[in-house]
Chain A
Amino acid sequence: SQKIEQNSEALNIQEGKTATLTCNYTNYSPAYLQWYRQDPGRGPVFLLLIRENEKEKRKERLKVTFDTTLKQSLFHITASQPADSATYLCALKRLGKLIFGQGTELSVKP
């Protein structure tokens, strides 16, 4: 069955550093992969989508890479700020269903 794993449940970094989150998947080759941000008590908010034929995508301080050979996506936040503290979820679609990884809770300390 489809499995999505995010590298760690929690990640603590210092303000100004780059946060790198990992998403690995098995048993499937998705056409695209998505990243969402979720704040406590709120619904996820879409951040970025990367397609299988794209190696890298950028949006402001965010960068996503997609390695279909390794079946892995990396999500980077550069010059991190305390306001970036949240849970970040990767997601991929299979058979009409968007399935989420368990999320990584990022905490950026001032």
Chain B
Amino acid sequence: DTEVTQTPKHLVMGMTNKKSLKCEQHMGHRAMYWYKQKAKKPPELMFVYSYEKLSINESVPSRFSPECPNSSLLNLHLHALQPEDSALYLCASSQPGVTNEKLFFGSGTQLSVL
């Protein structure tokens, strides 16, 4: 199984809502990532978890709150988002420390904030 599964595929939320994005992988990878991608732009790194610990936070606003409950799961909790937060949110995983550390991406959650 070389899949990274993200749910939901689409999400529309108001600025006062609280929602969560979910990501799951069963490849035994111990690094997981959240990226944000706007249309016609490259993915931008938000957070990195390594061995279930947050190792990188790219100065992301606190209205985005990541969580890694175990080595297979990664969540992104959303609260009080702004319309400019509308984007494709991508989860990825990799096996840290290997010399060809490639990332496996999910299909993403297309988020619209109204």
Chain A residues with a Cβ under 8 A of chain B: 9, 32, 34, 41-46, 49, 51, 89, 93, 96-103
Residue ranges of B at the interface with A (Cβ–Cβ < 8 Å): 4, 33, 40-43, 45, 48, 55-56, 58, 88, 90, 92, 99-108, 110
Q: Determine if A98 and B103 form an interchain contact, defined as CB atoms under 8 angstroms apart.
A: yes
Given A49-B100, A97-B56, the answer on whether A43 and B106 have CB atoms closer than 8 Å is yes
Cα A101 to Cα B108 in complex, Å, equals 19
Task: Known contacts A43-B90, A43-B92, A46-B102; decide if A97 and B107 are in contact (CB<8 Å).
Answer: no
Instruction: Count A-B contacts at CB 8 Å.
Output: 48
Collect the chain B residues with CB atoms within 8 Å of residue A43's CB. Answer: 4, 90, 92, 105-108
8 Å CB contact of B48 from A9, A34, A97, A102:
A97
- Structural contact, A98 and B45, CB atoms closer than 8 A: yes
The answer to whether residues A102 and B102 also contact, given A42-B108, A43-B107, A97-B48 and a CB cut-off of 8 A, is: no
Min CB distance, A63 to chain B, in Å? 17
Measured CB to CB, the closest approach of chain B to A69, in angstroms, equals 22
The 8 Å CB contact of A102, one of B41, B92, B105, is: B41
Q: How far apart are A90's CB and chain B's nearest CB, in angstroms?
A: 10
Specify which chain B residues have a CB less than 8 angstroms from the CB of A89 in the assembled complex. 42-43
* A49–B102 CA distance with the chains assembled, in angstroms: 8
In whole angstroms, what is the CA distance A101 to B33 when docked?
Answer: 18
